[in-house]
Every structure is written in C-alpha cells, then in structure tokens.
C-alpha cells in the first residue's frame, strides 16, 4: 500500500536523523577533549620535571608556618571589621545596581536596543578584574576600605546583573500574562509575577556573591584597600609565616561563619 510505504519512509528518515545527531554529538565530544588537552599542554601542566621540588618546598613552607601565631590578635579586630564592611557594602551596592541593569538586559524585556546596551555595560564591568578596579579607586579616593568596596561593587554589578538577567529570562510568563489580561501595568507584572518567582534565586546568587566578596575583599587589601588582606600581605613580606597562618585560619573562620549565615538565610527564603 502506498500509504504504508510512505509511513515506512518517514520512519526511516526520523531514525536517520537520530543517528546523524548522535554522530555530531560524538564529534563534538572528541573536539572538546582535544581542546582541553591542548590547553593543559599550553599551560605546561605536562612538564613533569617542574613538579620535582614542589612537594618538599610546600612541606618546608608549612613547617615554617606552624604552629600558627595568634599573639597579635588584638590588632586584627579592626581590619577584620573593615573586610566584612567592604564585602557587605560592595554586595549591597552591586545588587542595587544590578537589579535594574539585569532587568533591562534580560531578553524579552521589551526594548532590544536598551537590552543590548545594558548587556554591554554589564560585560564591561565584569571583564575588568576587581583588582584593576581597586587600583583605580585607590588612586581616585585614597587608601582604606572605601576603594575596596567600590571595586567590589563594580565587578559584582557585572556578575550579579548577568545572573539576574538569566534568572529573569527563565521566569514563567504565564502568571504575568494572566495579570496583563486583567489590565495590570508592566510595572505591576514585574512586582506581582516576576519578583515572587525570582526572589529565591536572586537571594541565592546574591548571598553566594557576598561569600565570594569576603574573599575578594581580602585580596584587595594587598593593593591598599585595607582590611585583613593588608595584615596578611604584610606578614608575608616580613616572612612571618606563623602569623600569616593564624590570619588564614581567622579568615577561614569568618568565611565559614558567613556560609553558615547564608545557608540559614537561604533556608528561610527557599521555604
């Protein structure tokens, strides 16, 4: 029967399509594996000779830094508070700037030109490392935590804006359409449909960014942005490895504390 033959042909073509896609999949996998191998080779990671002295050196360094020396702990309170303040203020400023930028950058926000412009701003903010932002702001406003928090804010705005835009793009549009069919304004759709849907993910990535910024704020201390990082780099410069180890432990404690706080906040918002 002609009809049956037609159907058989159609089935064969569907199956052929499937095998073609599988072949493409394997080819892509092999290409990716090759690219990764080249990257390792290029970074000199296969040059085994260079690993010869690595372990002994690390052990010597570890030995020199043990036991940790907490004797100057009284002078760490202020730098620690500075680092914490930098991370909090940087994250809050970034979240405040990233919210409108991310909303504009999200595909389907309504105006393609504006959305591309917002994306460009976010990409620029993000592609300049926070260390570079830090050097710029130290020159602009002087030493201390202020340039640090401005640097964190700039770089984090780029990161958070990108994440916010992606979260907004994944929002279910159906509840918003229901609102629009009732004659509700665009702003109200954002408030009553988009916001409740994105809130848990936004809280999640913002808390994650805060945790990241505590670590980043430490590094910024190195270039004169104050905080515990300055103490750490000073200890290294003075070869006071045991004090450096103590500072690293303190930092670890702080980051762990913030992770615990973040987990608690997440549990509250995701419930």
Partner 1 sequence: MPTAPCGRAGRSGGDDLPGNAPPAVVLDQITVCLGGQMVLRDVSLVITAGAITAVVGRSGVGKTTLIRTLNGLVRPCSGTAQVAGIGTLDGAEAWRAHRRRTATVFQDHALIGRLSAIDNVLLGLADQRHPLSLLPWPRALRQRAAMALDSVGLLARANAPVGKLSGGERQRVGLARALVRDPDLLLADEPFASVDPALVGQLSHDFRAAVRQCGLTVVIVLHQLDTALAIADRIVGLVDGRVAFNGTPCAFDSAARGRVFHNLRALSPLLKDMP
Residues of the shown chain interacting with partner 1 in the complex, contacts defined by CB under 8 A: 172, 174-175, 177-185, 187-188, 190-193, 196-197, 200
Closest distance between partner 1 and the C-beta of residue 106, in Å?
18
- Cβ proximity to partner 1, 197 vs 234, nearer residue: 197
- Cβ proximity to partner 1, 49 vs 174, nearer residue: 174
Q: Which string of b and e fits 47-84 if b means at least 16 CB within 10 Å?
A: eeeeeeeeeeeeeeeeeebeebbeeeeeebeebbebbb
- Cβ proximity to partner 1, 128 vs 184, nearer residue: 184
Closest distance between partner 1 and the C-beta of residue 138, in Å?
38
Closest distance between partner 1 and the C-beta of residue 15, in Å?
22
- Cβ proximity to partner 1, 65 vs 193, nearer residue: 193
Closest distance between partner 1 and the C-beta of residue 180, in Å?
7
- Cβ proximity to partner 1, 170 vs 191, nearer residue: 191
CA distance 25 to 265: 41
Closest distance between partner 1 and the C-beta of residue 205, in Å?
17
- Cβ proximity to partner 1, 29 vs 269, nearer residue: 269
Closest distance between partner 1 and the C-beta of residue 16, in Å?
24
């Amino acid at each position: 029967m002609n009809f049956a033959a037609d159907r058989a042909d159609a089935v064969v073509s569907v199956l052929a399509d499937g095998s073609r896609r599988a072949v493409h999949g394997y080819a892509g996998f092999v290409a990716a594996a090759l690219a990764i191998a080249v990257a390792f080779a290029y970074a000199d990671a296969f040059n085994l000779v260079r690993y010869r002295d690595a372990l002994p050196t690390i052990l010597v360094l570890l030995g020199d830094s043990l036991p940790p020396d907490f004797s100057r702990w009284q002078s760490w309170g202020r730098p620690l508070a500075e680092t914490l303040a930098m991370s909090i203020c940087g994250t809050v400023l970034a979240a405040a700037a990233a919210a409108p930028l991310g909303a504009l950058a999200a595909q389907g926000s309504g105006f393609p030109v504006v959305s591309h412009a917002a994306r460009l701003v976010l990409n620029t903010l993000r592609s300049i490392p926070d260390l570079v932002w830090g050097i710029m702001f130290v020159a602009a406003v002087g030493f201390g935590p202020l340039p640090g928090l401005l640097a964190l804010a700039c770089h984090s705005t780029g990161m958070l804006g990108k994440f916010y835009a992606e979260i907004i793009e994944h929002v279910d549009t159906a509840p918003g359409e229901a609102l629009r069919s009732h004659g509700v304004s665009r702003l109200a759709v954002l408030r009553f449909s988009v916001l409740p849907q994105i809130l848990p993910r936004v809280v999640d990535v913002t808390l994650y960014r805060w945790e990241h910024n505590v670590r980043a704020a430490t590094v910024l201390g190195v270039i004169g942005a104050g905080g515990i990082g300055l103490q750490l780099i000073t200890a290294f410069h003075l070869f006071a490895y045991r004090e450096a180890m103590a500072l690293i432990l303190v930092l670890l404690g702080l980051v762990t504390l913030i992770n615990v706080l973040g987990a608690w906040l997440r549990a509250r918002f995701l419930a």
